[in-house]
């Protein structure tokens, strides 16, 4: 991994962790607000909040992209595909 790729990965990780922090803050605020309105713990967890649900889905997609389908995975798959198409040279 060269310097530019490493720098971009650090920037992406920082952005992801910042998004997770804000998600936790907003979700906790919504959870506490709904709890005080309804007084029921079981109904309070996200309570059908469309914003939190969509935000959670986006964070999951970003996490998969960042941790599972990263540059190392892409390079490994590329190498596998290149090795499949190599044909021996006949003299």
Q: Picking from 22-31, 35-44, 49-58, which range would have the lowest pLDDT averaged per residue?
A: 35-44
- What is the signed CA dihedral for 75, 80, 84, 85, rounded to 10 degrees? 0
3-state SS class at 21: helix
Choose between 47 and 63: higher pLDDT. 63
Contact 53, 23 (CB under 8 A): no
pLDDT of residue 43: 57
- pLDDT confidence tier of residue 27, bands split at 50, 70 and 90: confident
């Amino acid at each position: 991994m060269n310097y530019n790729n490493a720098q971009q990965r650090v920037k992406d990780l920082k952005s992801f962790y910042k998004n997770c922090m804000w998600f936790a803050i907003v979700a906790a605020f919504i959870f506490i607000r709904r709890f005080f309105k309804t007084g029921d713990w079981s109904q309070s967890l996200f309570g059908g909040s469309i914003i939190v649900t969509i935000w959670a889905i986006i964070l999951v997609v970003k996490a998969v992209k960042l941790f599972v389908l990263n540059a190392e995975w892409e390079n490994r798959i590329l190498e596998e595909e290149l090795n499949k198409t190599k044909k021996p040279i006949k003299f």
